[in-house]
Amino acid sequence: MTLTDLRYLVALARERHFGHAAERCNVSQPTLSVAIKKLEDELAVTLFERSAADVKITDIGARIVAQAEKVLLEAGQIKELATAGRDPLSGPLKLGVIYTIGPYLLPHLIPRVHEAAPSMPLLIQENYTARLAESLKRGDLDVIVVALPFEEPGIVTQAVYDEPFRVLMPAGHAWEKDERIAAARLAEAPLLLLGAGNCFRDQVLEVCPMCRSGEGLQRTLEGSSLETIRHMVATGAGITVLPSSAADPLPGGNSLLTVRPFEAPEPFRRIALAWRVTYPRSGAIDVIRSAILGSPLQGVRPVTR
Amino acid sequence: MTLTDLRYLVALARERHFGHAAERCNVSQPTLSVAIKKLEDELAVTLFERSAADVKITDIGARIVAQAEKVLLEAGQIKELATAGRDPLSGPLKLGVIYTIGPYLLPHLIPRVHEAAPSMPLLIQENYTARLAESLKRGDLDVIVVALPFEEPGIVTQAVYDEPFRVLMPAGHAWEKDERIAAARLAEAPLLLLGAGNCFRDQVLEVCPMCRSGEGLQRTLEGSSLETIRHMVATGAGITVLPSSAADPLPGGNSLLTVRPFEAPEPFRRIALAWRVTYPRSGAIDVIRSAILGSPLQGVRPVTR
DNA sequence: GCGATGTATAGTTAATCTCTATCGCAGACA
DNA sequence: TGTCTGCGATAGAGATTAACTATACATCGC
């Protein structure tokens, strides 16, 4: 029993004539004859009474034809589903973003994605890189926004933008007089850092290797966020390093804080999209990338690959 | 897209492993691989993300698999319907009976059929032979009970029983003294006859050709029935001829009427079943035949063919 | 009976399905 | 870093099935 057989069956039930039904199915009359006979043999019931005068459907035949129509209808739905699902911009996209990007990127990203792909709702999760990577590999996420380096088997990445780091200090801080700050000086100040697991913490420590070892002045704030740290800096608890997208939007709006760039070579992080090599909705990824690049993130430089 | 493809699809969605899914489907892994690929090409969507680690179903894939399961379920119903419909004794049987048999046969027939085939309800129609024949050929009836001769293209008949004719007269009638009545004498009496269209009318007239021609004493009662005529005979309106099944049950119960057989050669009618050559439920017909022969019809002789 | 109509069958060709064998890729492990 | 292993994809051969054309067969109407 194949779907083709069922189509023949339904056609014959409608036409009550092998020749006409065959024509409607674009096959020859013997083809249809044989198919119906095969079906009857397989089901071990007589579906039609054939006579010279006409073709009559049996009671059981009528019931089976009705069921066959249902099957064909449901089968047709598969094609409809496929057509609807063919558009990579239709259907929800599961997006993951690291904690140190989300709050600054998402407010810009979301309306842009919604405009570019109205029928692609975003299901967003913020988390640490490691957690995002896990979810991505498991299939719980489709695309993630992370900082490079990011190497995972089966995962491809595409750099989107570079983002310079800034020094954030309370207004009136001694360094305020300097246009730019040398990275090495971070070791001299009470540096507020995110907790372990945040890749940004590691990147900051990489900028200032002195800070890492021994008993520096830095304080690690577990369970904190860049925003919390920023508030703490404003109260004079210390200084910190922020990515430009988190640091730059505020001056003019916050008289308690001062932002300074680093001396060259300016430290920065490279933000990238990552997805499974096998992920088929590349169009959706393109939309995300464009939306990110279209977002007014302070100080970032697009990476043209 | 075939039902087999859908089975492969569903198996793979369950197993998430081409090899295992193939095994479950009793095919080789390449067979399943190719089938899935073919489906994906045909639907122009990616149903699964394959990687070395595992097989992930895409969102659209999951929706299509759900639909495929629905299709397979409905397709399975076809087999169930066929199995249920395979029994010729299941499902209603449309039975036609001529007017001059119905009232005497059906009260016996129905309980017997119900006993022999409890899940075969009878849909019964009483009518003239011509009308029954028409319905039978159209498919509105499955089997009819008629008197022979009955020749119709595409229709086969099977004689069931012979039924002798009786003369019915009012009690105290002059012929009451005779043990048997000669057919020719019918022309001498006021003979009450059914209206045109009743085959029994013609059969009676055949018994007594004298009655047919000219201005006899017979009276045709259009729109009447054997029962009506019997009542009329009881009131002395005339005599009549009845089939034995209609005439014999009453003596002892009706002191107003007298029944006499004919002289040899005793006239009779041959009752038969008729159905379309193509009608597939021969088992149902056998049940009807047996039920008729098992019915206590007065004076009838089974026809063993 | 004979022709017309309509379905079934025969025989052939073509498509398709399925198989075995093998490739190629990616992750795991030493 | 090289090798091993598991797994899906691919290639080519063989078998099955589906379709066609031609024709046989059955039935009914004339």
Give the model's pLDDT for residue A2: 92
Q: For residues B49, B52, B53 and B54, what is the CA-based torsion angle, rounded to 10 degrees?
A: 40
**Which residues of chain B lie closer than 8 angstroms to A82, CB-CB?**
43-45, 60, 64
List of A residues 117-156 with CB within 7 A of strand C: 153-154
Burial of B213 (0-12, 13-18, 19+ CB in 10 A): exposed
Asked if the model's pLDDT at residue A34 lies above 60, the reply is yes
Tell me the percentage of chain A whose pLDDT exceeds 70: 96
Q: Which residue of A has its CA nearest to B46?
A: A280
**Disruptive mutation site among B8, B71, B89 for chain A (greatest number of A CBs within 10 Å):** B71
Strand bridging mode B240-243 / B93-98: unpaired
Distance from residue A30's CA to nucleotide C12's C1', rounded to whole Å: 14
Give the model's pLDDT for residue A91: 86
Helix (H) or strand (E) holding B37: helix B29-43
Does the beta carbon of A140 lie under 8 angstroms from any beta carbon of chain B?
Answer: no
Question: Helix or strand or coil: residue B61?
Answer: helix
Q: Which residue of A has its CA nearest to B86?
A: A45
* CATH no., domain B162-268: 3.40.190.10
Phi-psi region of B149 (alpha: psi -120 to 50; beta: other; left: phi over 0): beta
Partners of A161 in the beta sheet?
A271, A302
Does the beta carbon of A41 lie under 8 angstroms from any beta carbon of chain B?
Answer: no
Contact criterion met (CB < 8 Å) for B70 and A74 = yes
Question: Helix or strand or coil: residue B258?
Answer: strand
DSSP code per residue over A212-237: HSSS-S-EEETT--HHHHHHHHHTTS
How many CB contacts within 8 angstroms connect chain A with chain B?
123
CA distance A83 to chain B (A): 7
Which residue shows structure tokens 């992080």?
A: A269
Nucleic acid strand C within 7 Å of B4 CB: yes
| Apex B300 CA angle, B296 and B304, nearest 5 | 105
* CATH no., domain B93-160+274-302: 3.40.190.10
Asked if the model's pLDDT at residue B251 lies above 60, the reply is no
Give the model's pLDDT for residue B83: 87
Domains B3-85 and B162-268 share a fold: no
Residue among A3, A43, A279 whose CB faces B82 most closely: A43
Give the confidence band of B253 by pLDDT, cuts at 50, 70, 90.
Answer: low
What is the average pLDDT score of chain B? 86
Nucleic acid strand C within 7 Å of B280 CB: no
Alpha-carbon distances of B182 from A131, A247, B209, B226, B262, rounded to whole Å: 110, 127, 13, 21, 6
Asked if the model's pLDDT at residue B305 lies above 70, the reply is no
Give the confidence band of A204 by pLDDT, cuts at 50, 70, 90.
Answer: confident
Asked if the model's pLDDT at residue A29 lies above 80, the reply is yes
In terms of pLDDT, which residue wins out, A52 or B135? B135
**Which residues of chain A lie closer than 8 angstroms to B44, CB-CB?**
82, 86
* Segment B94-113 mean pLDDT: 92
**Which residues of chain B lie closer than 8 angstroms to A71, CB-CB?**
71, 74-75, 78
Ordered alpha helix ranges (H), A16-146:
18-24, 29-43, 59-85, 102-116, 129-138
The topology under which CATH files domain A87-305 is D-Maltodextrin-Binding Protein; domain 2 (3.40.190)
Nucleic acid strand D within 7 Å of A90 CB: no
* Residue B236 φ then ψ, to 5°: 90, 15
* Residue A128 φ then ψ, to 5°: -70, 160
Asked if the model's pLDDT at residue A229 lies above 90, the reply is no
**Which residues of chain A lie closer than 8 angstroms to B60, CB-CB?**
81-82, 85-86, 91
Query: Smallest CA–C1' separation from B152: which nucleotide?
Result: D28
* Segment A192-212 mean pLDDT: 81
Residue among B56, B64, B82 whose CB faces A81 most closely: B64
Nucleic acid strand D within 7 Å of B56 CB: no
Give the model's pLDDT for residue B97: 94
**Which residues of chain A lie closer than 8 angstroms to B91, CB-CB?**
59-60
* CATH no., domain A3-85: 1.10.10.10
In terms of pLDDT, which residue wins out, B304 or A97? A97
Three-state SS sequence of B124-189: EEEECHHHHHHHHHHCCCCEEEEECCCCCCCEEEEEEEEEEEEEEEECCCHHHHCCCECHHHHHHC
Name B285's Cβ contacts closer than 8 Å, sequence gap at least 6: B143, B158, B273, B275, B279
Q: What is the DSSP letter of B45?
A: S
**Disruptive mutation site among A156, A278, A281 for chain B (greatest number of B CBs within 10 Å):** A278
Q: CB of B254 within 8 A of CB of B234?
A: yes
Nucleic acid strand D within 7 Å of B19 CB: yes
Identify, with chain letter, the residue nearest to nucleotide C16 (CA–C1').
B35
Contact criterion met (CB < 8 Å) for A51 and B2 = no
Tell me which range, B123-132, B191-200, B229-238, is most confidently predicted by mean pLDDT. Answer: B123-132
Tell me the percentage of chain B whose pLDDT exceeds 70: 95
Give the model's pLDDT for residue A253: 63
Query: Smallest CA–C1' separation from A155: which nucleotide?
Result: C26
Name A210's Cβ contacts closer than 8 Å, sequence gap at least 6: A184, A186, A187, A216
Partners of B158 in the beta sheet?
B273
* Residue A10 φ then ψ, to 5°: -65, -40
Distance from residue B35's CA to nucleotide C17's C1', rounded to whole Å: 9
Give the confidence band of A250 by pLDDT, cuts at 50, 70, 90.
Answer: low
In terms of pLDDT, which residue wins out, B289 or A193? B289
Give the model's pLDDT for residue B213: 64
What is the average pLDDT score of chain A? 86
Asked if the model's pLDDT at residue A52 lies above 90, the reply is no
Tens-digit pLDDT profile for residues B150-196: 888 888 889 999 999 988 888 877 888 888 888 878 777 788 888 87
Name A59's Cβ contacts closer than 8 Å, sequence gap at least 6: B85, B91, B92
Identify, with chain letter, the residue nearest to nucleotide D10 (CA–C1').
B30
Does the beta carbon of B279 lie under 8 angstroms from any beta carbon of chain A?
Answer: yes
CA distance A86 to chain B (A): 6
- R_g of chain A, CA atoms, integer Å: 32
Q: CB of B46 within 8 A of CB of B40?
A: yes
**Disruptive mutation site among B60, B138, B155 for chain A (greatest number of A CBs within 10 Å):** B60
Would you give the distance in Å from CA B160 to the centre of its chain?
A: 15
* Segment A224-242 mean pLDDT: 85
Query: Smallest CA–C1' separation from A29: which nucleotide?
Result: C7
Within 69-98 of A, beta carbons closer than 8 Å to B belong to 70-71, 74-75, 77-79, 81-82, 85-86, 91-92
Helix (H) or strand (E) holding B88: none
Give the model's pLDDT for residue B254: 66
Domain coordinates in residue numbering, chain A:
3-85, 87-305
Give the model's pLDDT for residue A193: 83
